[in-house]
Chains A and B, each alone.
Chain A
Amino acid sequence: EPEVTQTPSHQVTQMGQEVILRCVPISNHLYFYWYRQILGQKVEFLVSFYNNEISEKSEIFDDQFSVERPDGSNFTLKIRSTKLEDSAMYFCASRAQGGGYTFGSGTRLTVV
């Protein structure tokens, strides 16, 4: 069964550093998403991406965040200058036209 692949599974970074979280969506999917889950809390929507542009973003997704689909297969989330409160599990998801979501297994980001 096709999977959404996220790397790395766990990343530790120092406060103020830039971090890039990588995702490989399912190959025929057209819609891509990032969600965040702070430890012990609910899953929160960050951003959706379609046709090479952001289609919707939440208020969490401020100027420190950006997304890119650099090469037609990867979908990345960049955090420019990480803060302690960015520590969370980040989930990538993708879906086909008219299809349901498939989530990756997540990247646990720890900012120290």
Chain B
Amino acid sequence: AQKVTQAQTEISVVEKEDVTLDCVYETRDTTYYLFWYKQPPSGELVFLIRRNSFDEQNEISGRYSWNFQKSTSSFNFTITASQVVDSAVYFCALSHNQGGKLIFGQGTELSVKP
């Protein structure tokens, strides 16, 4: 069975702090894809990253970085120097192929205070 666990329900930080959102996944597939989405208060789902299971290189995009560790089945997301605009719910998701259904975690609500 496939499952995504985001153990942190809520995180609150002060602006400029670094914050890491955890994501642990379960799958029996050897090929799979991992995603992060941001859901701001307006409600839409904003795509952040897609990573396939064969690419364990960490990725950095501006203040965002992702750490993919197959050995621990984790795909953690770090925001450096957080800003108030980063306040949102962040979802980690898994699919068993590139276009298969997405299985979402419960989400982590990040609150960045000025």
Contact = CB atoms under 8 A, between A and B. Distances in A.
A101 B102 contact: yes
A108 B103 CA distance: 21
Interface band, chain A: 20 to 34
Q: Is the interface of A mostly helix, strand, loop or mixed?
A: strand
A99 B105 CA distance: 22
Interface of A: 31, 33, 35, 41-45, 48, 56, 58, 89, 91, 95, 98-106, 108
Q: Is the interface of B mostly helix, strand, loop or mixed?
A: loop
Contacts, number: 49
Contacts of A56: 100-101
A104 B42 CA distance: 12
Interface band, chain B: 20 to 34
Contacts of B25: none
Interface string B74-114: 00000000000000000101000011111111110000000
Given A89-B43, A101-B47, A42 B91 contact: yes
Given A42-B91, A43-B91, A103 B47 contact: yes
A48 B99 CA distance: 10
B43 A103 contact: no
